[in-house]
Amino acid sequence: MTTSVVIGGNFAGMTAALEIKRKGKDQHKVIMIDKSPLFLFIPSLIWVPFGRRDIKDISFRKDEILKKKGVDLLVAEALKVDTKNQEVHTNKGIVKYDHLVIATGPKVKYDVAPGVEQYAHYVGTPNGAMKIRTALEEFKKNPGPIVIGATQNAGCMGAAYEFLFNIEKWLREQNIRKKVDLYWITPETFLGHFGIDGITGGETMLKSFMKMFNIHFRTEVGVTEVTKDKVMLTSGEELPSRFTMLMPPFVGVDFVQNSPDLKATAAGYIPVTDDYRHTEIPNVWAAGIAVDVKLPFKPGKVPFSGPKTGYPSDETGKIVAENIIRVTEGKTELKKKAWGKIPGICIMDAGKKEVIILSNTLFKPRKFAIMIPNVLYDFNKVLFEKYFIWKTRKGLSYLP
């Protein structure tokens, strides 16, 4: 029997583990190692600060789902891997493997600039989202300027845009919009770059959104410091701020950084070929955010990264699973699809409105790319959330 160990249990890890077991059946033992028994639908965290969702609405226990599908879950922290002896060291013992899948997601680099961790909020964790909810209740009592955006080296610009438009909507609902100067700051060379070199018509659309919602914006800026009442930019400008939410950069998790055998990049990502197999270690694979992605464009004055969203994470989890099964069966031809060749499928929430983003590939050159605004309601965003949570609850990892 072949044993595959999957480290990480959200989008990429959940998909990879379930697909390896589904395809490998009784010939394959699958063990997932994750610090939490819960699955979290991370894209909906942007709604938590505004009371549109609670954490319980977008999370559920994955241990029962995995058990039904024949996957073992070890709730533990993976500390390091010994690739020579094929052992994962955890705080609950050592786990042996034949194939290792690293789907660990990111670690947030809060120390990108002084004061970011202390004075800026971050919506990308349950705790962070709930802290914002509390902070906004206090903000209502004494409203003032707000700064929303992404720091230098950040790659998750889409979620920051979503938060921006949601807070603008919330300010209007609280009848305090006229009391707030709302600022957007981004390292992108232009609005709507998103780390994918933009989509046709995207910059024009977002500029019109900024004008329509009276949002001041700054492109090609980084953050040099955040204080209690201001955000200092690399341009030398200082923006007043009574509430700040920033998306910092992502780096590889401690497990990867503490495992020199993995020969990770300086940022802590796993070097892989287009089949998501490690470039030097044949039985080590990576999926989702853990993958090192080479960007096909050069950032401008301020560095930034590319997006690693749920759809590519899900896709790479499926590719890894398929290839592990092929290797186990003695096949040499593996499925290949470079990160940049994965279709771009995203629904950006815009404060109970939405923009549907579709392209045949994430990176250029593309055969088609389109942004479709829906100014009536974010129906498709809600539908996608319900579908993906339903799919995952049922363990139907093979569905798109």
Task: Please give the mean pLDDT across all residues of the chain.
Answer: 96
For the residues 83-92, what does the mean pLDDT come to? 98
- Looking at residue 376, what is its pLDDT? 86
Count CB neighbours of 370 within 10 A.
Answer: 13
Q: What is the band of 375 on the pLDDT scale with cuts at 50, 70, 90?
A: confident
Asked which of 340, 359, 374 is the last residue of a domain, the reply is: 340
Is 349 inside a domain boundary?
Answer: no
Q: What is the CATH number of the domain that holds 120?
A: 3.50.50.60
**Total of domains in the chain:** 2
CB neighbour class for 319 (10 Å; exposed up to 12, middle 13-18, buried from 19): buried
Tokens of 8: 């990480």
Domain that holds residue 315: 2-107+250-340
Asked which of 340, 361, 382 is the last residue of a domain, the reply is: 340
- Looking at residue 310, what is its pLDDT? 85
Interval 13-45: pLDDT, tens: 999 999 999 999 999 999 999 999 999 999 999
CA dist 124 and 222 (Å) reads 19
- Looking at residue 297, what is its pLDDT? 84
- Looking at residue 305, what is its pLDDT? 93
Is 370 inside a domain boundary?
Answer: no
Residues 79, 20 share a domain = yes
User: Cα torsion at 257, 260, 265, 266 (round to 10°)?
Assistant: 60
- Looking at residue 200, what is its pLDDT? 86
- Looking at residue 309, what is its pLDDT? 85
Would you call the peptide bond into 365 cis, given omega within 30 degrees of 0 as the criterion?
yes
Interval 65-80: pLDDT, tens: 999 999 999 999 999 9
Residues 166, 261 share a domain = no
Residues 259, 195 share a domain = no
Nearest CA to 181 among 168, 166, 165, 163?
168
Residues 93, 180 share a domain = no
Interval 263-315: pLDDT, tens: 999 999 999 999 999 999 999 999 999 999 998 888 789 999 988 888 999 99
Residue 138: phi and psi, rounded to 5, are -70, -40
Residues 145, 62 share a domain = no
| pLDDT of 383 higher than 90 | yes
- Looking at residue 338, what is its pLDDT? 96
Is 22 inside a domain boundary?
Answer: yes
For the residues 321-333, what does the mean pLDDT come to? 97
Is 6 inside a domain boundary?
Answer: yes
Residues 214, 116 share a domain = yes
- Looking at residue 308, what is its pLDDT? 85
Residues 145, 64 share a domain = no
Asked which of 206, 233, 248 is the last residue of a domain, the reply is: 248
- The percent of residues above 70 in pLDDT, for the chain, comes to 100
- Looking at residue 161, what is its pLDDT? 97
Residues 301, 243 share a domain = no
Is 351 inside a domain boundary?
Answer: no
- Looking at residue 298, what is its pLDDT? 82
- Looking at residue 299, what is its pLDDT? 78
Residues 117, 103 share a domain = no
- Give SS3 for 152: coil
**Cβ density class 118-156: b for 16+ within 10 Å, e for less:** ebbbbbbebebbeebeeebeebeeebebbbbbbbbbbbb
Is 377 inside a domain boundary?
Answer: no
Is 360 inside a domain boundary?
Answer: no
Residues 218, 149 share a domain = yes
- Looking at residue 253, what is its pLDDT? 97
Is 320 inside a domain boundary?
Answer: yes
Residues 262, 191 share a domain = no
| pLDDT of 134 higher than 90 | yes
Residues 119, 52 share a domain = no
